[in-house]
Structure 1
């Protein structure tokens, strides 16, 4: 349990915490992808493997930005992730909740940078705010499709094979430490 004394107090502290959040999100997406793979759903698996890489890249963008500003960086461990799901909709609901949580975290980072008059930090967060709009919209659409498909999981597979959901893992953001994957 985090106490008030342990809570991040500066923009840099919040960004360090966000690196962990992004790695957690990455691993959660990998766990979902593996579940889809184990259920012979290759389109969903590929989509969520890409999401896992994208979240890893977000963490590494933050690492690079901190390195560029000569801020201390430590690579954190991650939390346990959920690996079992009742169905596609269950997994996508977890993903959507995760993206909504990340959106709130990014908004808090932006607000803290503004509070500290850290114009570089504020500008850096603008890309992530735009990214979160896309992420939440994409997961909301995917959840709608999954709920409409019900037990016909191959309808979701067909949809993903036919449509581009989100940015399809393309990297348009800031530079990532070590290069984006």
Structure 2
């Protein structure tokens, strides 16, 4: 029995190297969201905690979608370590503002991946990223809206929790048209 040989990292295109890095960024985002969720959970803000626990799972799934794509393209997925995350916060606004900045940063990273795929004429890579580009529009809009709600509430977290429960229901389930994950999806 012969095992398939995968492309070593040093022989990869710039697109695949950046995609491997992005796997690490997605896992870092997952950890950051988990830290935010735990902060809200510790303060009995269950609706905000639920939103950020779900975001943590979504980011994990994004990483595993990228791993599945790499595996399907015979690229050895050397999983990178998770970057540093923030855990010290003073008020809820700081957490939501961090989440928005994180989504904006990920959007820039995905756009760069798409640019490189196009530059390298990697049409399947570019096509793979289309779902992520659309997802990032939604993620930035969601966090921007949540930040606006937190700011308008003027410190009244009961109002924020009520709004989140009403406007951000748990919509578990696989996103339409989402790429396949490596391993089971939890969204």
Report the TM-score when normalising by structure 2: 0.89
**What residue number does 1:22 align with?**
26
Offset of residue 9 of structure 1: 6.5
Matched, 1:178 2:183: yes
CA distance in 2, matches of 1:43, 1:140: 17
2:25/2:83 contact within 8 Å kept: no
Find the partner of 2:150 among 143, 146, 154: 146
SS of aligned partner of 2:135: helix
Equivalent of residue 93 in structure 2, options 89, 92, 101:
89
Which digits, 9 at most, give the CA deviation of each residue in 1:131-168, with x for residues without a partner?
Answer: 00000000000000000012111111000111127x84
Specify every segment of 5 or more residues in structure 2 that has no aligned partner in the other structure, as ranges.
1-11
Hey, what's the Cα distance between the residues in 2 that align with 1:168 and 1:86?
A: 29
SS at match of 2:180: coil
| Correspondences of 1:151-170 after superposition (within 5 Å) | 151-164=155-168, 168-170=171-173
Q: Is the 8 A contact 2:110 2:132 kept in 1?
A: yes
Q: Residue 117 of structure 1 aligns with which residue?
A: 121
1 CA distance for matches of 2:17 and 2:123?
Answer: 16
Q: Does 1:47 align with 2:51?
A: yes
Instruction: Please provide the CA RMSD for this pair.
Output: 1.5
* Distance in 2 between residues matched to 1:169 and 1:32, nearest whole Å: 19
> What does the per-residue CA deviation read over 1:18-52, in whole Å, with 9 as the maximum and x for residues that have no partner?
00000000000000000000111000001100000
Once superposed, which parts of structure 1, at least 4 consecutive aligned residues long, lie more than 3 Å away? Answer: 167-170
Q: How many residues align?
A: 173
> Which residue in the other structure is 1:3 paired with?
none
Kept in 1: contact 2:103–2:140 (CA 8 A): yes
How far, CA to CA, are the matches of 1:73 and 1:179 in structure 2? 17
Q: Structure 1-normalised TM-score?
A: 0.92
1:127 to 131, 137, 143: 131
